[in-house]
Amino acid sequence: MLNEISIRNFAIIESITIAFNKGLTVLSGETGAGKSIIIDAVHLLVGGRGSSEYVRHGEEKAEIEGLFILDDEQHPCYKRALEFGIDIDEGMLILRRDISKSGKSVCRINGKLVTISILREIGSTLIDIHGQHEHQELMNESLHLPLLDQFGGTKIAKSRQEYEEVYREYEQTMKRIKTLTENEQQMAHRLDLIQFQYEEITNANLKLHEDDALLEERNRLLNFEKMYEGVKISYNALQGEQKGLDWISLAMNHLQQSAEVDEELVELQEVVANSFYQLEDTVAILRSKLDFMEFDPVRLNEIEERLNEINMLKRKYGPSIEEILEYVAKIEEEIETLTNKETHIEHLLKQAKELQADLLVEGQELSELRRNAAERLTKMIHRELKALYMEKTVFEVHFTTDKESFHKKGIDTVEFYLSTNPGEPLKPLSKIASGGELSRIMLALKSIFSKHQGVTSIIFDEVDTGVSGRVAQAIAEKIHQVAIDSQVLCISHLPQVAAMADTHLFISKTLKAGRTKTTVKPLDDEEKIKEIGRMISGVEMTELTREHAKELLSLAKNVKIP
């Protein structure tokens, strides 16, 4: 849920911080007080289109920051955040967006800089904003199939996964067939190229880690004089009269004599003796090394030439010998495929035909499950519409099934159709005109899909426009039902909706130092009565209006009792 939002220098808002609760929060106030501006800020926070016009006059930038609490670790936001390398700690997600007066945006998620598209990706899992005149995701026919699949639950999810596994294999097979049946001239050029590359690499006779060994040997040759001088000085320091070994031998002999008198010296004598014999062996090795050490300029040239050859291959085929050898193994397989192209095409066509048969079986099973889910969904939506006094409205899940054409999601294309008046043909939901009917239809759909979409919060921005009386009461009860499963923020002018609120925020504007300032105030019980009374009668608050407001609150309380 959206736990808190801070807004600074945004339109007529100087600085406000609003804490939100679970359930239904209603925002009310006079027209122009800034209710929709707050919703605009939320919209921008989750990736909406912004501009410099939102920056408060005279300020450098507008700042919006929101804290979201994710109680469910299976929330889709976790998966999206993981894809973009964003850590979610203790179920808290902080979104921030700054918009400068030049129109540029800076977006952050949990302190990490992100693009607007990433902010929008994450934001789409958190908030669904539904306004009276806004194109919503439920109006987007491309999302109707995923919504139906979500409604269908685990059975459809499992069936679709099985279908998609076969589809991925089928798609890869078709790509390989397409590649092999492309322009003959292109294939011939490709074969010539990779055969040349194969011969160039194999003729080089590369060995793993060969370059490391050559670099080490070259380093020794380049530093031969320094190395030779060091070995020589070391040898001379140890071997010869009055040199290192002579002195250690003298120490060893005297300690041996002393150890015959004092047993505590035996261990020290053994240490010196062992050191003497080890150094004696070392001197012999140094002598042998000096005898065989010889600078070889020819070998140095050979190494340089070999390293140049290896580096040239690295520039062409990969940054390491290991990757070059992997590449040559890959093109060797491709050479075999292109050389025996017809045989491979025949095999792939056979494989594709078998996969098509499997896809049809999996697709038909998935389609059947979807149709069963569509029947259940239709019954539920008709029940919801009846509660909203639209009992004559007909809803239908329209299927287009093509058993000859497969796509990633199955063999079905799905779109929601409606007829709002008897005798009128069913039309796509996206073609339904806006107004009171559309508000009720959207609420019916939200009542059902809010449980399946996984969205943290739903915002209704004056969706109750154009309704009154019993329809207004029905809409209020429906919004309350949606708020049971999702946090709902609702801008409303209907007293029936305000009476249903778990939290009621009053938005007002004042004039301070010649500038308009928006304020937000949570209302207590007495203040709720006054505000609902104002919504009923307008400016003047009579005792009758007050009683009517109290009655609405009492009725709402009874409706909310489980």
Parallel/antiparallel/unpaired status of strands 394-401 and 92-100: unpaired
Query: From CA 142, how far away is CA 181, in angstroms rounded?
Result: 33
Sequence-distant (≥ 6) Cβ neighbours of residue 188 within 8 angstroms: none
Digit-coded pLDDT (tens) for 59-100: 899 999 999 988 877 787 888 888 888 888 888 999 999 999
* pLDDT more than 90, % of the chain: 31
Winning range, highest mean pLDDT, from 106-115, 256-265, 397-406 = 106-115
Tell me the one-letter amino acid at 218. R
Digit-coded pLDDT (tens) for 510-554: 877 777 778 889 999 899 998 888 888 876 778 888 888 888 888
The pLDDT of residue 134 is 43
Confidence label for 463 from pLDDT (cuts 50, 70 and 90): low
The C-alpha torsion from 242 through 245 and 249 to 250, rounded to 10°, is 30
Nearest to 406 by CA among 476, 470, 357, 439: 357
Give the predicted TM-score (pTM) of the model.
0.59
Query: From CA 429, how far away is CA 137, in angstroms rounded?
Result: 11
Confidence label for 113 from pLDDT (cuts 50, 70 and 90): very high
HSE-up of 341 (CA within 13 Å, CB side)?
16
Number of neighbours of residue 278 by Cβ within 10 angstroms: 10
The pLDDT of residue 158 is 93
Sequence-distant (≥ 6) Cβ neighbours of residue 529 within 8 angstroms: 546, 549, 550, 553
Q: Are 361 and 367 in contact, with CB atoms under 8 Å apart?
A: no
The pLDDT of residue 6 is 94
Q: What average pLDDT does the segment 441-446 reach?
A: 77
Average pLDDT value over all residues in the chain: 86
> Token match 């399946």: residue?
452
Q: CA angle, corner 150, sides to 147 and 151, nearest 5?
A: 85
Q: Are 150 and 453 in contact, with CB atoms under 8 Å apart?
A: yes
The pLDDT of residue 562 is 64
Number of neighbours of residue 327 by Cβ within 10 angstroms: 18
Q: Are 499 and 559 in contact, with CB atoms under 8 Å apart?
A: no
Sequence-distant (≥ 6) Cβ neighbours of residue 356 within 8 angstroms: 170, 406
Parallel/antiparallel/unpaired status of strands 412-419 and 394-401: antiparallel
The pLDDT of residue 515 is 77
The pLDDT of residue 377 is 92
pLDDT at 123 over 60: yes
Q: What average pLDDT does the segment 9-37 reach?
A: 86
Q: Tell me the residue length of the chain.
A: 562
Digit-coded pLDDT (tens) for 478-522: 888 888 878 888 888 889 988 999 999 999 888 777 777 788 899
pLDDT at 433 over 60: no
Confidence label for 466 from pLDDT (cuts 50, 70 and 90): low
Digit-coded pLDDT (tens) for 124-173: 888 877 664 444 556 778 888 988 998 888 899 999 999 999 999 999 99
> What number of H helices and E strands is found in the chain?
18, 15
The pLDDT of residue 71 is 80
Q: Please give the span between the terminal C-alpha atoms of the chain, in angstroms, as a whole number.
A: 22
Cβ-count burial of 533 within 10 angstroms (0-12 exposed, 13-18 middle, 19+ buried)? buried
Which of the pair, 561 or 152, is modelled with greater confidence? 152
Digit-coded pLDDT (tens) for 291-350: 888 888 898 999 999 999 999 999 999 999 999 999 999 999 889 888 888 888 888 899
pLDDT at 110 over 60: yes
Q: Which two tokens stand for residue 419?
A: 């007829």
The pLDDT of residue 32 is 76
Tell me the one-letter amino acid at 467. V
Query: From CA 146, how far away is CA 128, in angstroms rounded?
Result: 16
Digit-coded pLDDT (tens) for 182-236: 777 788 888 899 999 999 999 999 999 999 999 998 998 888 888 888 988 998 8
